[in-house]
């Protein structure tokens, strides 16, 4: 069995790695902590949820919902693209400004069980993102 990747969660830094490729050829994957899910999937438990949802790369914002009671999501209720810009990525693809949209995107909901999230959920999520093989990952928060 392969070792789990080591993932550190810090409130003091933003996970950022400069992208050195050509955006015009890059496949982009969205990963969000905003509680976004596809309408065909069960919503997140707003009292705490350690799971994540897989959102198809072909989804449109009109097919997405939000399950989170821990931030003001008035603007998200009007347009989920403000936290999960799936339609904007599709538009950028059509404009040839990015290479494409990943086959799958990912979202997690609210939890206060940060250690369990770090130890149990995130390593599995990282492997799922890795298996999607995007050229770049865009992280969004809620």
pLDDT(58) > 90: yes
Q: Is the pLDDT of residue 70 over 90?
A: no
Q: Which long-range contacts (CB under 8 A, 24 or more apart) does 90-94 make?
A: 90/60
Query: For all residues of the chain together, what is the average pLDDT?
Result: 86
pLDDT(7) > 80: no
- Predicted local confidence at residue 130, as pLDDT: 93
Q: What average pLDDT does range 115-141 have in this prediction?
A: 91
Cα 24 from Cα 22, distance rounded (Å): 5
Q: Name beta bridge partners: 37.
A: 65
Q: How confident is the model at residue 79 (pLDDT cuts 50, 70, 90)?
A: confident
Q: Which residues of 104-123 are buried (b: 16+ CB within 10 A; e: fewer)?
A: bbbbbbbbeeeeebeeebbe
Mean pLDDT value across residues 4-29: 74
Helix or strand (DSSP H, E) at 73: none
- pLDDT given at position 5: 56
Averaged pLDDT, 37-60:
93
């Amino acid at each position: 069995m392969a070792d789990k990747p080591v993932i550190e969660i810090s409130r003091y830094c933003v996970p950022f790695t400069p992208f050195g490729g050509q955006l015009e050829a890059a496949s982009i994957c969205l990963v969000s902590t905003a509680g976004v899910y596809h309408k065909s999937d069960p919503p997140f438990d707003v009292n705490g949820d350690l799971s994540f949802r897989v959102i198809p790369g072909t989804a449109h914002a009109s097919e997405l919902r939000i399950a989170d009671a821990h931030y003001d999501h008035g603007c998200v209720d009007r347009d989920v693209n403000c936290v999960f810009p799936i339609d904007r990525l599709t538009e950028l693809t059509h404009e040839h400004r990015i290479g494409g949209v990943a086959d799958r995107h990912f979202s997690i909901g609210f939890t206060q069980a940060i250690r369990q999230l770090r130890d149990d959920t995130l390593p599995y999520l990282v492997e799922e993102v890795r298996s999607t093989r995007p050229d770049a990952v865009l992280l969004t928060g809620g």
